[in-house]
Amino acid sequence: MDASQMEPIPITRPLLGPEEEAAAVRVLRSGWLTQGREVAAFESEFGALVKAPYACAVSSCTAALHLALVGLGIGPGDEVVTVSHSFIAAANVIRSCGATPVFVDVDRTTQGMDADLVERSINPRAKALLVVHQIGMPCDLTRLLLIAKRHNLHVVEDAACALGSEFLIDGAWEWIGRPRGSVACFSFHPRKIISCGEGGMLTTQDSGLDRKFRRLRQHGMDVSDTVRHGAAQVVFETYLEPGFNYRMTDLQAAVGREQLKRLPFILERRRALAERYRTLLAELHGVQSPPEPAWARSNWQSYAVALPDGANQKEVMQRMLDLGIATRRGIMNAHREQPYRASSHALPVSEWLQDRTILLPLFPDMTSDEQDRVVAALGEAITCGAALSTA
């Protein structure tokens, strides 16, 4: 069979089934579609899973990151020390607060903020570190927390991709999101570990912050819809501060609750597939599989391989697409995009990772045949790309 007759292999495929369908129908039939009981249940189940005392659901991880910064009082004149090597949402929300993102280069192993470089970027205007557990690999949180403490900075964890990822702290494995910093923010976009279409979650240990997130996601209102609708007495709400509409719907939350039940299977499958990729890719000369530090357990939200020297990234990706296989280039760098071009010095590791790595398909119901096809196509694309560049 030639490639044109084979089923295309997508970059990801959310695992959804009759349970999610039934959950959505249950909500539709209930007549209550927006933030209500399902959202409250999703929050408590999610919080219990990551061992966070408070979990607040919102409409996306971008909304979660924005609320985290607003909740922590980040505003005009402040600096937030972060990475450029991430989805642009983090830089955008810092700007939306009127603050300035200060970009630090990343560590090549974890693709997270380089703890050796961060201190030189901290000045008296810095109010927070916004660190990213990139593509599911925990950043060096232990060291970054110590640095933040030394400089009296809040720590916001962008854990969009990191549900189920673990790191070793004080001699024990711990899930990302407990959280160790001030707030951790998760995403439920279809490229993430579990999905309900769109959605986000903030976890914190701080009850005051959690109360603030709940107000801010609902226009600054002092009472929730469920309390108001369930009250035997008439309730007049008040608006305590300017807020947003960052509500998650009950439709999304009901699907998210079913997704949480699948999480152990999803994590097991992703880890098994990553291990199998590592074995298969060892046969491809010059291709480097992603390393995993001894103190980290990735959920392998994405599997980023470094291409051999001389391989043309775009040509390799195009050849794979011609063979029916979707890939993505290495994680973007915000400082190379128009809004942030002026704001940074060179970030060589970030740029290298964007230009020299590609993300391969990886999703829970991926078959061995599909994985074999990806590896074969990568081998062919590299040979073909190398031939083209030497021709």
Ligand X SMILES: Cc1ncc(COP(=O)(O)O)c(C=O)c1O
Residue placing its CB nearer to ligand X in the complex, 60 or 218: 60
Integer Cα distance of 36 and 148 in angstroms: 36
Q: Per-residue x/- marks for ligand X, 15-54, CB under 6 A?
A: ----------------------------------------
Q: Out of 54, 87, 213, 303, point to the residue binding ligand X (CB under 6 A).
A: 87
Asked whether position 61 contacts ligand X by CB under 6 A, the answer is: yes
Distance of CA 390 to the CA centre of its chain: 38
Any catalytic annotation for residue 192? Answer: yes
Q: How many residues bind ligand X (CB under 6 A)?
A: 14
Q: Out of 102, 160, 320, 381, point to the residue binding ligand X (CB under 6 A).
A: 160
Two tokens at 270?
């992703």
Integer Cα distance of 155 and 166 in angstroms: 18
Residue placing its CB nearer to ligand X in the complex, 111 or 289: 111
Q: Which of 51, 127, 192, 212 is catalytic?
A: 192
Residue placing its CB nearer to ligand X in the complex, 47 or 199: 199
Residue for token pair 């300017």: 242
Q: Are the beta carbons of 186 and 133 closer than 8 angstroms?
A: no
Asked whether position 110 contacts ligand X by CB under 6 A, the answer is: no
Q: Out of 66, 180, 189, 373, point to the residue binding ligand X (CB under 6 A).
A: 189
Asked whether position 132 contacts ligand X by CB under 6 A, the answer is: yes
- For residue 188, the minimal CB distance to ligand X (Å) is 7
Asked whether position 373 contacts ligand X by CB under 6 A, the answer is: no
Residues in contact with 184: Cβ distance below 8 Å, sequence separation at least 6, in sequence order: 50, 52, 156, 157, 159, 176, 177, 178, 202, 203, 204
Integer Cα distance of 149 and 363 in angstroms: 37
Integer Cα distance of 270 and 298 in angstroms: 9
| Span 244-263, contacts to ligand X by CB under 6 A | none
- For residue 376, the minimal CB distance to ligand X (Å) is 28
Please give the angle made by the CA atoms of 162, 45 and 221, to the nearest 5 degrees: 95
Integer Cα distance of 371 and 374 in angstroms: 5
Integer Cα distance of 78 and 72 in angstroms: 12
Identify which of 112, 116, 153 has the alpha carbon closest to the alpha carbon of residue 134.
Answer: 112
Q: Out of 36, 200, 290, 330, point to the residue binding ligand X (CB under 6 A).
A: 200
Identify which of 182, 187, 184, 235 has the alpha carbon closest to the alpha carbon of residue 208.
Answer: 182
Q: Out of 89, 306, 323, 378, point to the residue binding ligand X (CB under 6 A).
A: 89
Q: Out of 74, 104, 161, 209, point to the residue binding ligand X (CB under 6 A).
A: 161
- For residue 60, the minimal CB distance to ligand X (Å) is 3
Residue type, 44: S
Residues that bind ligand X (CB under 6 A): 60-62, 86-87, 89-90, 132, 158, 160-161, 187, 189, 200
Q: Which residues are catalytic?
A: 192
